[in-house]
């Protein structure tokens, strides 16, 4: 991922790291979901 205005830089780097470690997609989505909850 180069850049996204919807995913903060810190979360994006975490997601990229998880992806490189071959973490299941549902765990990655969980991280993204938790991040969006904190925003509200």
Contact call for residues 11 and 35 (beta carbons, < 8 A): yes
Q: For residue 22, what are the CA distances in angstroms to 13, 18, 37?
A: 14, 6, 24
- Predicted local distance difference test score (pLDDT) of residue 24: 96
Higher confidence at residue 2 or residue 7? 7
Residues 6+ away with beta carbon under 8 Å from 30: none
Q: Region 18-40: what's the mean pLDDT?
A: 87
The yes-or-no verdict on residue 40 having pLDDT over 60 is: no
Domain residue ranges of the chain, discontinuous segments joined by +: 9-39
- Predicted local distance difference test score (pLDDT) of residue 39: 62
**Is the pTM here over 0.85, yes or no?**
no
- Predicted local distance difference test score (pLDDT) of residue 34: 86
The yes-or-no verdict on residue 1 having pLDDT over 70 is: no
């Amino acid at each position: 991922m180069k850049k996204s205005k919807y995913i903060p830089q810190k979360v994006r780097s975490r997601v990229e790291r998880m992806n490189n470690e071959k973490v299941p997609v549902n765990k990655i989505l969980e991280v993204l979901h938790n991040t969006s909850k904190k925003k509200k």
